[in-house]
C-alpha cells in the first residue's frame, strides 16, 4: 500500500492534496488521529505557502472556462457530484465517524444525505436565479450575477463535509473555482470528495483541496491577491486573523462564527417538548455552533423542568459512535477535551453547582453536563465551550428572559419554547440572533438565510444570499434610445 493511502474500515483515502486535477504530496506530513480510540488514521500532506500558491494558480487558470460554462452544464455536473456522494454514502459515513467521532447513525441517515442535497439544491437554485427587470424613467434595469473568481473556503471539524459543501456547492454553482482547506483534525472526507468531483467530471482546477495548519497554509491562502472570496466557519480569534490577512487585498469575507445561544422556556410551554429540546443540545457531544447552551427557564417551572431534564439526560448512552445505540460520542481532540474540562473546573470554583455530569469520562469523552447557580457575567455563561456543557438560569418575567438571552457578545441562534403564539412573536422580534426556532430546533432550509449577528458572524448563506456573496452582482441600465437600425 502506498505511503499516501490510508485505509479506514476498508475504505481507502488518499492523504495528499488535490491540486489542478492531480494528487500532490508535501515534504512533511501531520498525523490524523481518531477521537474514538486514539488510533492513527493516516499521515496527511502538510501544506505550506508553496501548495497554497499552486492551488490558487490552478483555480485561477480554471476559472475562465468554468465561469463561461453554461448554467445548465454546471448544474448537471453538480448533480453528478451529488450522485457520487449518494453512491459512496456508506464510505463517507464510516470515514467521517472515524475522523471526527460523530455518530455513524447520524451520518448515514442525515448528514451525508444532506451533503448530496447541498449540491442538488444549489444546482437547481442556479437555474432559477433571476431578478425581474425594472424600469427607471423608461430605462431598463437588468440584474445579473457574475462569477467572482477563485474562492478560498476554510471549514471546521465538527461536521466536516456537510459544512464544507454548504460553501462548495454555491461557490461552484455561481461559476467560481474553489480551494478548500479542511480542518486539520478531520481532513479525510474532503479528500474523498475530491475523488468524487473528479469522477463526476469537474474540470481540473475547478475544485482543489489543500491540507495543513492555518499558520502554515491558511495565511498564505487568505492573503493571496488572486483570491476573490473567502468563506470561513470557525472561531472568533481565527476569524480576526483571517480578516487581517484579507484586508490588504480587500477580499470579501463571509464568516460563520461561534455562538452562546439561549433556550427560553416559558411556563406556558409544553414541558416535555422543552426538556426534549434542552437535552437535544448534547448532540454531537455539544460540538455544534448553534447549540442552545444557555437554558433560561421561568422560575415557576424550574424545579420540575430540572427534574425531568436530569431523568432524560441520565438515559443518554455515551460511547463508541459506531454503535447504533450510542447517543453521544467523544470530543474531537485531547486539546478540546482539556478546554471543556477547564471551563467546567473554573465554573465550579466560581460557585457553579453541578446538576448533571461535570467530569471527564474514559478516553476522549466528557460527560453530559448541566451547571446551575451561575451568574450572567461568568465565563461559563459568556464564552463558547463547544462541548456537552449546558447552564441553567431562571427568570421571573418576559423582559428579564429577553435581557438574559441577549446579554452576550454572540448572536447566532436562539430557541423559544412557549404555548402562546403572541408571546412567541413578541419575544422573537426582540432576540438578537440570525436564526430563531420556536418549539423546534435545527430545522434548516437552504433557501433561508443563515448566519450570525454580533461576534457570531458576517454575512448570510443560503439561497440567493449565497449567490450574492459568491458573485459580483451587476445592474445593467439600458436606454430606450440610441439604437441603429441594422435591418
* Catalytic residue (one of 184, 289, 298, 461): 289
Q: d(Cα 177, Cα 224) in Å, to the nearest integer? A: 15
Cell matching residue 125 = 437554485
With b meaning 16 or more CB within 10 Å and e meaning fewer, what string describes 256-277? bbbbbbbbbbbeebebeebbeb
Cell matching residue 288 = 455544534
Cell matching residue 336 = 478540546
Sign, Cα dihedral of 318, 321, 327, 329? positive
Element (H, E) at 462: none
Beta strand 5-8 pairing with 151-154: unpaired
* Catalytic residue (one of 256, 298, 384, 461): 256
Q: Catalytic site residue 151? A: no
**Ramachandran sector of residue 205 (left: φ over 0; alpha: ψ -120 to 50; beta: rest):** left
Place of cell 445592474: 475
Q: Catalytic site residue 91? A: no
Q: Do 156 and 183 touch, CB atoms closer than 8 A?
A: yes
**Residue 196 CA to its chain's centroid (Å):** 21
Place of cell 442538488: 120
Write the DSSP symbol of residue 418. -
CB-based contacts of 246, cutoff 8 Å, min separation 6? 222, 223, 230, 253
Sign, Cα dihedral of 347, 349, 353, 354? positive
Catalytic residues: 256, 289
Amino acid at each position: 500500500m502506498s505511503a499516501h493511502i490510508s485505509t479506514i474500515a476498508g475504505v481507502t483515502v488518499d492523504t495528499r492534496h488535490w491540486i489542478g486535477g492531480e494528487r500532490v504530496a508535501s515534504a512533511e506530513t501531520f498525523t490524523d488521529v481518531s477521537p474514538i480510540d486514539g488510533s492513527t488514521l493516516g499521515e496527511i500532506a502538510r501544506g505550506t505557502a508553496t501548495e497554497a500558491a499552486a492551488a490558487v494558480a490552478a483555480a485561477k487558470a480554471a476559472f475562465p472556462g468554468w465561469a463561461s460554462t453554461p448554467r445548465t452544464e454546471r448544474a448537471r455536473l453538480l448533480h453528478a457530484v451529488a450522485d457520487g456522494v449518494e453512491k459512496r454514502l456508506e464510505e463517507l459515513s464510516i470515514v467521517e465517524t472515524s475522523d471526527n467521532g460523530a455518530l455513524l447513525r447520524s451520518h448515514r441517515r442525515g448528514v451525508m444525505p444532506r451533503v448530496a442535497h447541498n449540491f442538488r439544491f444549489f444546482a437547481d437554485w442556479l437555474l432559477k436565479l433571476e431578478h425581474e427587470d425594472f424600469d427607471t424613467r423608461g430605462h431598463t434595469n437588468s440584474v445579473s450575477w457574475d462569477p467572482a473568481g477563485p474562492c478560498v473556503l476554510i471549514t471546521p471539524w465538527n461536521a466536516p463535509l456537510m459544512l464544507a459543501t454548504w460553501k462548495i456547492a454555491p461557490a461552484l454553482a455561481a461559476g467560481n473555482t474553489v480551494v478548500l482547506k479542511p480542518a486539520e483534525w478531520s481532513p479525510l472526507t474532503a479528500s474523498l470528495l475530491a475523488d468524487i468531483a473528479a469522477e463526476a467530471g469537474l474540470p481540473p482546477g475547478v475544485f482543489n483541496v489543500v491540507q495543513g495548519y492555518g499558520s502554515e497554509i491558511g495565511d498564505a491562502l487568505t492573503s493571496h491577491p488572486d483570491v476573490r472570496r473567502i468563506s470561513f466557519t470557525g472561531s472568533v480569534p481565527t476569524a480576526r486573523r483571517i480578516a487581517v490577512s484579507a484586508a490588504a487585498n480587500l477580499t470579501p469575507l463571509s464568516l460563520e462564527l461561534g455562538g452562546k445561544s439561549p433556550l427560553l422556556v416559558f411556563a406556558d410551554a409544553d414541558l416535555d417538548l422543552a426538556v426534549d429540546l434542552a437535552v437535544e443540545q448534547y448532540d454531537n457531544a455539544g460540538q455544534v455552533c448553534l447549540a442552545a447552551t444557555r437554558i433560561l427557564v421561568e422560575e415557576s417551572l424550574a424545579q420540575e423542568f430540572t427534574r425531568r431534564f436530569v431523568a432524560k439526560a441520565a438515559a443518554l448512552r455515551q460511547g463508541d459512535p459506531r454503535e447504533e445505540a450510542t447517543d453521544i460520542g467523544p470530543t474531537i481532540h485531547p486539546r478540546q477535551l482539556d478546554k471543556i474540562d477547564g471551563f467546567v473546573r473554573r465554573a465550579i470554583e466560581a460557585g457553579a453547582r453541578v446538576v448533571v455530569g461535570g467530569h471527564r469520562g474514559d478516553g476522549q469523552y466528557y460527560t453530559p453536563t448541566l451547571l446551575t447557580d451561575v451568574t450572567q457575567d461568568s465565563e461559563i455563561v459568556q464564552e463558547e465551550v463547544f462541548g456537552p456543557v449546558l447552564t441553567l438560569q431562571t427568570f421571573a418575567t418576559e423582559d428579564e428572559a429577553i435581557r438574559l438571552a441577549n446579554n452576550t457578545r454572540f448572536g447566532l441562534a436562539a430557541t423559544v419554547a412557549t404555548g402562546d403564539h403572541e408571546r412567541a412573536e413578541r419575544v422573537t422580534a426582540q432576540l438578537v440572533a440570525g436564526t430563531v426556532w420556536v418549539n423546534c430546533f435545527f430545522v434548516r432550509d437552504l433557501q433561508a438565510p443563515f448566519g450570525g449577528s454580533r461576534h457570531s458572524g458576517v454575512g448570510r448563506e443560503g439561497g440567493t444570499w449565497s449567490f450574492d456573496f459568491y458573485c459580483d452582482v451587476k445592474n445593467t441600465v439600458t436606454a430606450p434610445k440610441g439604437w441603429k437600425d441594422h435591418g
